[in-house]
Amino acid sequence: MARSFLPCLLLAILMALSPATGLSFNSGLTDANGDSPFSEAFARAVDAAQSAVNETKNAEPMLRLLETFTRPEEQLELNLEIGLIYNQRTDLVDPPNAVFYLGKVLAYHLPERTRIAVLMWRGNSSEQLREFQPALTDYLRGLLACSYHDLSGPWPEIRESGVAIYLNSPDPENGTHIRDYNQYRESIDLQRYLMQQKYYFVDAVKRVRESAHLGDDVILKTLGELSPDLTRREVVLRWLKGENKRPWP
């Protein structure tokens, strides 16, 4: 049997071209070609504002950009950056503002991975405020999203391509092989991410239940308000009642 071949350099290049990388924006937005929808001017302005926030220990440089960049995707990204400043930036953590700006982000149609992350962040800020029902609701939203994926297996390993892939090849199938392998890697990365998030969401729900002394009736009521899908509710309840083992090595 021929040994599969994928040079480490090529693997790094393939993953660098993945839409998930983009310009390192947290929203993960891409256009129809999988490229970043943000202009270089916007990227430079955000980078400069982030540096100014770090230096001044004030979110105002980022807040000012909301008046300059008004395209929907720009507003989404800026509200997310501001929400994260208030959610986790040293010396700037402000849970009420984090909840406010992350809530504005959730009003947009988001990539699934981004929505799940924002639900965790907003839930954390609500929990810091001891607003346990909003925190529980966001954590359960996250678990419902995860429940539509099969997360029952072991931690997925990343394997080499089954066919040789080259940077410059006259073979017309080479580009197809690259796209196939990239799709495989993106699927594995998503599977790993969801398994991690499921673990954190289950832990968060259990933590909130203990802090607020919430019974099963509150969990059931909240799930019923979030989704009419009984099969997904059963999956979430099974996760909450089972042992929550960390899935990654």
Amino acid code (one letter) for 81: E
Residue 56 inside a domain? The answer is yes
Q: Is residue 22 part of a domain?
A: no
- Domain membership of residue 247 (yes or no) is no
- In the block, tokens 């909301």 appear at 66
Q: Which residues contact 248 (CB under 8 A, 6 or more apart)?
A: 155, 192, 195, 196
Eight-state DSSP code of residue 214:
-
225 CB-side CA count, 13 A: 12
Whether this model's pTM surpasses 0.75: yes
Residue 60 in domain: yes
**Count of domains forming the chain:** 1
Range of the domain at 158: 8-15+34-241
Q: Is residue 46 part of a domain?
A: yes
Q: Is residue 135 part of a domain?
A: yes
Judge whether 213 lies within some domain.
yes
The CATH number covering residue 131 comes to 1.25.40
Amino acid, single-letter form, for residue 12:
A
Taking phi first (over 0 means left), then psi (-120 to 50 degrees means alpha), and beta for anything else, what does residue 242 get? beta
SS3 56: helix
Q: Is residue 2 part of a domain?
A: no
Tens digit of pLDDT at every position of the chain (249 positions): 334 444 433 443 344 334 333 346 999 998 888 889 999 999 999 999 999 999 999 999 999 999 999 999 999 999 999 999 999 999 999 999 999 999 999 999 999 999 999 999 999 999 999 999 999 999 999 999 999 999 999 999 999 998 988 888 888 888 899 899 999 999 999 999 999 999 999 999 999 999 999 999 999 999 999 999 999 999 999 999 999 999 999
